[in-house]
Structure 1
Amino acid sequence: MVLGDGVHDGAGGDLHTLDAEITRCRACPRLVAWREEVGRVKRAAFADEEYWARPVPGFGPGDARLLVLGLAPAAHGGNRTGRMFTGDRAGDVLFRALYDVGLASAPRAHTADDGLRLYGTRLTSPVHCAPPANKPTPLERDACRHWLVEELALLRPTLRAVVVLGAFGWQAALPAFTAADWTVPRRRPAFGHGARVRLAARDGGKPLDVFGCYHVSQRNTFTGRLTPEMLRGVLREAAGAAGVSVA
């Protein structure tokens, strides 16, 4: 398996270390048991594959200006392939949109070693293990937060915008932004598709623009709650705020 992708020389090198540490985490017994059980039992369509069945690290360059924050790996997606949003239908929707706006080198992510690259963009999640029914508990979310805080700290020199997919990710991200030294208003901004909030840096550095977007779950995409046009629109706006060139 391949960890991460495209960490540039001289930028974000410590992300390799962080990614490796994440893959060894066993802090949440329920999540450990589930991810490993899924890896043993497997889905019939993937019976001949070896599942990753470990925590899934972030994916993308270490000098990313844009971060896309999801929820958690899918049991037969990232938990199978070992790469965030790779190998499941939600990932198919996200990578197609990233490709359409010029942030990815291919429209679909198949495996961790398929050669796909992200441009100025990194993907991560507030929970790094696949949870039963795609629902981490609040305790599991909080136990995983320090990994997100460390990732944000490493990305901070270049990071200018974040797209948060879904209300769960939004709730998990706001305390992490605070811990990573951005100022979140005392009255926390509400999640919504198209929501945008600018967070000042407590050290006087560059602010962070945070965008809300409905999650790319099948429930949202199959019902039309989130359309490709809506997703592309948020990604383009966020990329523009981050200073990343898009199509």
Structure 2
Amino acid sequence: MDAVFDALAHPIRRALLDRLRETDGQTLTELERDQPLTRFGVMKHLGVLERAHLIVTRKVGREKLHYLNPVPLQQVADRWISRYAAPFARTLSDLSHAVDEGAKIMSASGPKHVYEHFLRAAPEAVWAILTDDAKTPLWQHFNMTSTTDWRVGGAITFFVEGRPMIVGEILELAPPTRLVHSFSARWSPDVAGDPPSRVTWELSAIPGGTKLTLTHDNFGGDTATSRAVTGGWPESLSRLKTLVETGTPFLFPVAHAG
């Protein structure tokens, strides 16, 4: 976590994160605008933020877009804040959500929300938990359960107390590296009318572990779903990391999902 604190220590880097909070998915040209340093200087600061995994980048056409990755901030919350504020554990994701809350929607062709996580386990071990419905409540937001028909075209459904919260279809299934499914929110009337979006899980082997990249995109615009999901993914990914690495779930109190 030293890299995270080092990255946040500089005002220019905090200003760049503020820019991405206001409008996610910006190019270098957009981010360097009005900054009191050269283009090369901005690139160096962005490199520090990327190495700390506070931002991730994606090539869309000929452009390189920069996105916030709030997962490291969730790890800070999990490590220190929860110990002293256990009664408020349900709101710990606000630390990461505060970074990207209110983020504007970029072009429909680009990724919407991109998260990176590094786990001390082989891709096969991560995949085994990710695709085991019996383990879903040990890491998913709201301790959701799931039922899945594990084949392309099969249904995937997440529940809270027997009520469907998310319904979807398996679009791609390539063990143990890639899982893509559609995502239709059902937890409240304001999201129920949104079109299906897309969730892509990518697992890449790295020395000593796995790089997990989750991309949630294809929302079809600035929807209630696109704004709501930023609160749940950082928690879920942090809990998944804990479960994979320790074999012990990071349990949250059961909360009402709406």
TM class by smaller structure: 0.3 to 0.5
Give the structure with higher Rg (CA): 2
TM-score, normalised relative to structure 1: 0.33
